[in-house]
Structure 1
């Protein structure tokens, strides 16, 4: 841990202008990004009495080794630069508002030629419109099933869609009129896209015009004595109404708003947001994170930047209701409005329906924080205890805040791969995971481990002083503790690699599976951690995660190696051109039957390469093994 006084800037050197600042550690890694209306006032506060700082802030200042800043013109530019730096550098001490669970969305893939409606979780994809989030996936499926009567948009996967087109028959939904069946040409791409756009408009809250239009069509059909059509339209209206009933009406007007509430204590906070579209609650989200802001207004500013910074323009509503306004509400409103392309109002509700809904959201936040405290009380103390136990039993100078673990996977020396997993503060940091293909002639696990560790730490020595656009490269950050899957031989090999490379500030241990013994390099006896200790449990979790990651990669490599294409080995025919051939012809049988002229029609394949492909496939077809009498060895006639 660094002494903050060793890198404290001279007070007169810090400007009083607004700006954004970055703390870096001794390896040049950005560990914290913040903004300030006055850089001098804010940065000076970090170097006062450390005991008066928030525990997380105090740990950040002690971990840091330098601080730098950039002056900007106004608060809006500061917000933009702060968000872009947080997104670029992913600093470990900036709080990340992660969902307390993975929420499902109703997604429509408008970026495809034939848009598809489906349930999606995880990060949002470009070219796709999202509605929700919903509390349960079954609620999305029931809503979608109701609306397919009125908006028969495609819901099948790419494989099912392609197969239906090849056989010329739609799936079951096409036969029961819950899909317009563009796969067999019942509707063209433009008509199907219009159906998908109408569906998106309905889900976005523009429901009145659809119900009104169907009602008028039903009355007209009844007047024309077309009672069968009138009955179908009546059922369509009922399906729409039932789908609408799933969303609770909270405002009588067509209000579009997100309603935020925060429950916090000194260490942690819980955030809840209700998404209201067209006066109805369309979804709900929640986050739980460490409390690192000095006040709730600062917390709201950071929360809004992270929630809406990655949103598309259509994901930001016209109105955002908050328990308190951020420190610079005008700047935040201007920034959100520039993303949305229209004005965004930030308000604190004082009375009426909006105040009532805010109280409901606040109750959800309070309950979420209470549940989190019960679930995490043991976990937080257990992680701290695990790091303390490892520091004590392994004789480390400081707690192993960053642990890297390596494991090797293969089958009898084939498709040898290795994994590197990273745990920071006792939690997995999956963005730092790495996979290795062992290139050398590794005769055993120890040789493979030696090669992988040599490559990893050679990259560290090369990249620790290099940056890309001011950001440390991916292998430039060393671990405090290096764990290898194995016993004394693996630990000795790892220690030898670090000594050869001159890396002296990384501790090494090996964890043997059979008796869960912890081996230090060049020690004749293992370190025995108590069976119930949190330190041993953390090492086991790290080792098991490395094993899972390695074996998953090995299975991928083995599967690819066992899949041999009839197009492999043709000079000039790479993977992309092979894929183009398969898309054009549909199967290897049709490719083999095609002439050189037909193959040349495929984009990216010229006449010369087409002739080579046809000759190669023709020669392969001629090389058929003759039939042989197994008793006499005589070659049988055709």
Structure 2
């Protein structure tokens, strides 16, 4: 635990201007990013008496070992740089909202020659128009089904589209007029793109103009005695109105706004967002976050706005953003939103009328989401803190282990021996830090030896990372670095590697595995990391050099956290081992031949029926297979002949290998 006074900047060193600052720990990892109108005033507030700081803020400044800052011209630039650094460094002490579910969106792939309408989840892609997100995927599909009658845009996958192009015949949707069938040339690429743009305009809320145009065309068709066309237009209008009725009108027509509401307690905060387009609720989403510091409602709103609009395209920012509390000061955030949209954005708190009533509804949804999250979450911040404190108390540690790493060994009767390393920080899984190991120095069912090797490799890498200058690392003895993802030296806190030591190492096993892990660290001179083992049978916690295990109460939050860590390491190891096993099962004699792809392998096996017959064939016979040339045939024949010579001869009567 560092003393904040040891790295406090001298008086006068900090400029009195806008900027962004970063706190780093002793390993140069960025743990907190913040912005300030005055860097001098904001940073000075962190170096007061610890008793006057919020507990999480006090933990942050004592975990940090240095602070640095970057001066910018305006508060808007500070806001943009702060968001960029939070996304880049993922600092553990910053407010990070987590989606309470994966919300589907309606997407139109305008980046393709023939745009496609589909339902998508996850990260947004460049060149794709998104609408939503929506609460349910079926609601999107019902709306799309109604709109395809009027806007018959392609909805098929790339495979179906290419197959229809090849055979010159559209799919079922093309026959029932719910697709314009661009695959068969029924509509030109330009006309199909115009159709997709009309679809996007309608989904964006510009419905009134389009409906009036259809009604006018219907009247003109009726006057010209084109009753069939007038009937089709009438049905199209009815379909569009049914699609519009699926979202109730909540605000005046043509109102585009996002309403953001908060529900918070001392430990967590929930955010709910209603997307209103054309006066109708087009989508809803929610986030939850730990309150990692004594942040105000305005600061929570600012973080939510950064996450909501930071990666969105400018057209997704509405004309109005209604919030429960304004960031302080509100002008930089409003200017940033205006910059994103390209036109003026109003950021305000609704005071009366329909918008105030709708904000109350959004706030009620946020409160319900927070209540539901509390009941679902097995370990909130208080529980996690208590679990870490119990572990420290029972294991005799000086402080709570904020970073815990767990190792597990997996194999199938001694074959394909692998190991896993999982990482938990502040009681939560840090999956980006997980690592997998191949045990290459031996084979067999020796978990103790494997544990010694894995822990040695992990901490040998850690010691090397502290001194390395940026080159790629390879294990001693020429071992392939399959267990690392290394790159340039991380002087700026970016790398996800073995550079950060844990406070506690947990191994899946009892006394022998714990002794092996401790011995591996002692051989490397690592004496500041605690070790324990969790045995599956009785859930006993073993410590190095102790004859008796530590027994944690069955209701202990500390034991529950250790079980979660152990089970996650076991799951990760089993998954890796099964993947290795399936790869070895799939490999055959033809897989080792260079230049022989799946198509040619299938052609050879289809022609000869088996590898045995293929091995007995001549080069001329192999060349007769469609797609196999003379040179490839020679390569196949030579490779199979070499494999046959390398394989030992076996006495079929006794099963023994025959020596030469």
CA offset digits 1:153-208 (Å, max 9, x no partner)? 33333444445555555443333332334445544544443333322222111223
- State how 1:42-53 maps to structure 2 within 5 Å: 42-53=42-53
What residue in structure 2 maps to residue 309 of structure 1? 310
What residue in structure 1 maps to residue 300 of structure 2? 299
Deviating more after overlay: 315-324 vs 83-92: 315-324
What residue in structure 2 maps to residue 385 of structure 1? 386
What residue in structure 1 maps to residue 428 of structure 2? 427
1:97–1:289 CA contact under 8 A, matched in 2: yes
* Distance apart, 1:415 and its partner CA: 4.0
2:374–2:380 CA contact under 8 A, matched in 1: no
CA offset digits 1:410-459 (Å, max 9, x no partner)? 33444443322211121112222233344443433344433333332222
CA distance in 2, matches of 1:263, 1:621: 68
What residue in structure 1 maps to residue 619 of structure 2? none
What residue in structure 1 maps to residue 518 of structure 2? 495
CA distance in 2, matches of 1:233, 1:566: 64
CA distance in 1, matches of 2:189, 2:206: 23
- State how 1:440-589 maps to structure 2 within 5 Å: 440-444=441-445, 445-464=447-466, 467-468=489-490, 470-474=492-496, 475-563=498-586, 568-569=591-592, 571=594, 573=595, 589=603
* Distance apart, 1:523 and its partner CA: 3.5
What residue in structure 2 maps to residue 354 of structure 1? 355
1:330 is the counterpart of 2:338: no
* Distance apart, 1:41 and its partner CA: 1.4
1:394 is the counterpart of 2:417: no
* Distance apart, 1:210 and its partner CA: 3.1
Taking structure 1 as reference, are residues 531 and 356 closer, same or farther at Cα in structure 2, changes over 3 Å only? Answer: closer
Deviating more after overlay: 87-96 vs 479-488: 479-488
Taking structure 1 as reference, are residues 168 and 387 closer, same or farther at Cα in structure 2, changes over 3 Å only? Answer: same
CA distance in 1, matches of 2:194, 2:273: 32
Taking structure 1 as reference, are residues 126 and 410 closer, same or farther at Cα in structure 2, changes over 3 Å only? Answer: farther
What residue in structure 2 maps to residue 608 of structure 1? none
1:508–1:520 CA contact under 8 A, matched in 2: yes
CA distance in 2, matches of 1:24, 1:315: 35
1:272–1:362 CA contact under 8 A, matched in 2: yes
In structure 1, runs of 5+ residues without a counterpart are 594-610, 626-638
Aligned residue-pair number: 599
Taking structure 1 as reference, are residues 414 and 229 closer, same or farther at Cα in structure 2, changes over 3 Å only? Answer: farther
What residue in structure 2 maps to residue 212 of structure 1? 212
What residue in structure 1 maps to residue 646 of structure 2? none
In structure 2, runs of 5+ residues without a counterpart are 469-488, 608-625, 642-660
Deviating more after overlay: 47-56 vs 173-182: 173-182
* Distance apart, 1:619 and its partner CA: 5.4
* Distance apart, 1:588 and its partner CA: 5.8
CA distance in 1, matches of 2:530, 2:437: 22
What residue in structure 1 maps to residue 630 of structure 2? 615
CA offset digits 1:542-579 (Å, max 9, x no partner)? 122122222233333444444459985565x49xxx69
Superposition TM-score, scaled by structure 2 size: 0.82
Taking structure 1 as reference, are residues 191 and 459 closer, same or farther at Cα in structure 2, changes over 3 Å only? Answer: farther
CA distance in 2, matches of 1:496, 1:405: 16
CA distance in 1, matches of 2:42, 2:297: 17
CA distance in 2, matches of 1:182, 1:592: 37
CA offset digits 1:261-293 (Å, max 9, x no partner)? 223344332222211112221111222223335
| SS of alignment partner, residue 99 of structure 2 | coil
1:83–1:309 CA contact under 8 A, matched in 2: yes
| SS of alignment partner, residue 67 of structure 1 | strand
CA distance in 1, matches of 2:442, 2:569: 22
1:128 is the counterpart of 2:128: yes
| SS of alignment partner, residue 255 of structure 2 | coil
When the two chains are superposed, the root-mean-square deviation of aligned CA atoms in Å is 3.3
2:133–2:284 CA contact under 8 A, matched in 1: yes
